[in-house]
Structure 1
């Protein structure tokens, strides 16, 4: 079987991998750089490099999405504080899913029949078994595999 590693997923979904500067963020969202700096001062958006004073601000895709969504809500009559709170609430499910995937994903295997088995690590109630997910048609199914002594 071919294998993928946990690092594969982390590299693919690494939070800070795709970044843009404040002028690009302004162009993408229609929000002026001055306004974006104000949003940052209020803590509604956070540049990736906030701990590097004097450096040009760079933003992750998460902040791009947040700024764009806040801008849209402001145009519909929300206050800045309410828009930021609404966007944070709407982003919670995606953030939860991100953490579940990154925390549980151990790698993948390609079985001899070409089926991709996603290793989700030890099955908590039975740590001697690993939980795998696979796609069967359009449906995700799960299976447990006993960890053999040679797999450890």
Structure 2
């Protein structure tokens, strides 16, 4: 079996990898840089480099999505505070999925038959077992394998 490391996926989709500046964020969302700075001051959006005073603001894709969604809600009559709260609530499932995927993902293996087995790490109730996921047709199927057999 060929192996893929945890780093493979993390490098592609790491939280902070894809960033843009405030000018690009303004162009993408239609919200002025001044308004975006106000949103930041209120704590509704947070630049990736907020701990680096004097540096140009850069924003992660999460903040891009949040700012765009807030802008859309403001256009439909929401207040800024209500729009931010609504977006935070709507983003919770996506944040949960992100953590499930990235906290559990250990890599992948390609089985002898070409099947991709996604390694989700130790199976919590039975830590001597490793949990794998694979696609069978369009359905996700889980499989437990003894860790000693994998070594």
TM-score bracket for this pair, using the shorter chain length? over 0.9
Q: 1:50-105, CA deviations, whole angstroms, 9 ceiling, x for partnerless residues?
A: 00000110101110000000000000000000000000000000100010111111
Q: Distance in 1 between matches of 2:112 and 2:149?
A: 20
Alignment partner of 2:17: what SS? coil
Aligned pair in 2 of structure 1 residues 135, 150: CA closer, same or farther (>3 Å)? closer
Give the match for residue 80 of structure 1.
Answer: 80
Unaligned runs of 5+ in 1: none
Q: Distance in 1 between matches of 2:75 and 2:29?
A: 12
What is the CA distance between 1:119 and its match in structure 2? Answer: 0.6
Q: Distance in 1 between matches of 2:66 and 2:124?
A: 34
The TM-score normalised by the length of structure 2 is 0.96
Q: Which stretch shows the higher mean deviation, 6-15 or 105-114? A: 6-15
Alignment partner of 2:113: what SS? coil
Aligned length: 150
What is the CA distance between 1:150 and its match in structure 2? Answer: 6.7
Give the match for residue 112 of structure 2.
Answer: 112
Q: Which stretch shows the higher mean deviation, 120-129 or 31-40? A: 120-129
Q: 1:104-130, CA deviations, whole angstroms, 9 ceiling, x for partnerless residues?
A: 111100001100000111111111111
What is the CA distance between 1:13 and its match in structure 2? Answer: 1.5
Give the match for residue 6 of structure 1.
Answer: 6
Aligned pair in 2 of structure 1 residues 30, 78: CA closer, same or farther (>3 Å)? same
Alignment partner of 2:149: what SS? coil
Q: Distance in 1 between matches of 2:97 and 2:78?
A: 27
Q: Distance in 2 between matches of 1:94 and 1:150?
A: 34
What is the CA distance between 1:151 and its match in structure 2? Answer: 4.4
The TM-score normalised by the length of structure 1 is 0.96
What's the RMSD between the two structures over aligned residues?
Answer: 1.1
Q: Distance in 1 between matches of 2:31 and 2:58?
A: 15
What is the CA distance between 1:11 and its match in structure 2? Answer: 1.0
What is the CA distance between 1:149 and its match in structure 2? Answer: 3.5
